[in-house]
Homo-oligomer: A and B are copies of this chain.
């Protein structure tokens, strides 16, 4: 784990690391914010999964999360959104919603993706093991994300609730088996078998398994992807059917951008801190 850059921010440390990923078979970069409290001892961590086209830098520079993380004593762990580098396949047409920047937090089973596109394992296991070994983290984890990353956060938490204390999402792709982004990505990465897709579909998982974790979702009502791609009503229905406690908030006038995320990130951090810091 090589330190690429470190910058002071709200009394803490905003750091960018590089490492060779075993899960992804490539060199990866990720960002970390360590709050001032990490100088005194291990702190809990919020994992943030970003959306299509993002790297670790979008959330780091645009969300304004460090201020509240510094107050609450939370680390932020911010991975990239796909494997990267020479030899990592991309969509033949350079589409923004497949390949580089669009890993969808799955373990791909299809060629040419399966050698590198294993973001599920990377975020679930490899990255936490790495940062918890190298940084002052106490092993308590929460997870959140935006759009494709909201999908990833929900799926990881629903399948491994023992790994996290709470989960939240901004404008998640709630039912990827049944929207254009999800169908395209899942067909490429996972093939045609819908049973494989279901393991990466938050609405199907929630309906089937319920969710023992506190779960908060914010969705902007002026989000241009709302009806076709995001479909939070599927998540809501699944929560009702399984009896899970989902806090789903529709925010009038907000779109899909970081202006939306920055407006509500404080409430998400305080939500997670209630479970992370007790």
Chain A: residues with CB nearer than 8 A to chain B? Answer: 7-11, 14, 61-62, 64, 66-67, 220, 222, 253-255, 257-260, 262-263, 266
Contact = CB atoms under 8 A, between A and B. Distances in A.
Contact of A7 (B64, B67, B257): B257
Contacts of A14: 259
Contacts of A258: 61
B61 A8 contact: no
Given A8-B254, A61-B61, A62-B61, A67 B259 contact: no
Contact of A66 (B253, B255, B262): B262
A262 B61 CA distance: 9
B222 A8 contact: yes
A7 B62 contact: no
A119 to B, nearest CB: 25
Contacts of A66: 259, 262-263
A259 B62 contact: no
Contacts of A259: 7-9, 14, 66
A259 B33 CA distance: 11
Contacts of A10: 262-263
B262 A7 contact: no
A255 B259 CA distance: 25
Contacts of A9: 259-260, 262-263
Contacts of A222: 8
A116 to B, nearest CB: 30
Contacts of A61: 61-62, 258
Nearest to A264: B10
Contact of A262 (B11, B64, B260, B266): B64
5 contacts: A8-B220, A8-B254, A8-B263, A9-B262, A67-B263
A67 B10 CA distance: 16
A66 B11 CA distance: 21
Most chain-B CB neighbours within 10 Å: which of A14, A62, A266?
A: A62
Contacts of A64: 64, 67, 262
7 smallest CB-CB distances across A and B, nearest first, come from A64-B64, A9-B259, A8-B253, A7-B259, A10-B263, A8-B254, A61-B62
A11 B220 CA distance: 12
